[in-house]
Amino acid sequence: MAKKTKQTYEERVELPSSVTLQVVGKSVVLKGPKGEESEAIPKNVCVKVEGSEVVIFSNDSTRREKRLIGTLAAHIKSIIHGVTDGCTYKMKVCSGHFPMNVSVSGNNLVVKNFFGEKAPRTLEFPSTVKVKVNGDEVVIESHSRKVAGQIAANIEKLTSRTKYDKRVFQDGIYIVSKDGKLIE
């Protein structure tokens, strides 16, 4: 029976000059011009900074650790994009049967007269997210892609109906572009 040898596997991510990374316990904290975000480091995975690169590695690399390293590298790239450029989601308000009124008051998105309902539907979002309503367009901006995407999904879910034919009743608020990518 052959012995398994331990293998070291690593991935490197380039850090821009405007972003700083700190390893705090079992998480990494990235700070940039748009904000700050952290990500947990999985078990058996190590992170260190060498110059302007982040090195993510594991000394005992099985397939599981290789997947975790790749996932953490992708998350760090996403966080770097968020804290340097920010993330923007655009949504479109579609109201064919009843004129829907969408507004923002404080940290709440308020949808009035959805399918003629008397009670308004509201969604609370964190203060780190900026939501703007321009006519029939809703723009969500955040330094975190995860948070912006989750708020957009919550808004879409806020105006979903299950007992109506979606081909006829297309009223609602739908995601049009995700962080610069058009959805068709």
Tens of pLDDT, residue by residue over 97-124, are 778 889 999 899 999 988 888 889 889 9
Residue 83 near residue 36, CB atoms below 8 Å: yes
- Cα-atom radius of gyration of the chain, to the nearest Å? 21
The answer to whether residue 86 scores a pLDDT higher than 80 is yes
pTM above 0.75, yes or no: yes
Domains along the chain with CATH numbers: 9-85 (3.90.930.12), 87-182 (3.90.930.12)
The answer to whether residue 2 scores a pLDDT higher than 60 is no
Q: Which residues of 27-61 are buried (b: 16+ CB within 10 A; e: fewer)?
A: ebebebebbebebebbeebebeeeeeebebbbeeb
Q: How far apart are the C-alpha atoms of 161 and 173, rounded to whole Å?
A: 11
The answer to whether residue 1 scores a pLDDT higher than 70 is no
Q: How far apart are the C-alpha atoms of 82 and 161, rounded to whole Å?
A: 32
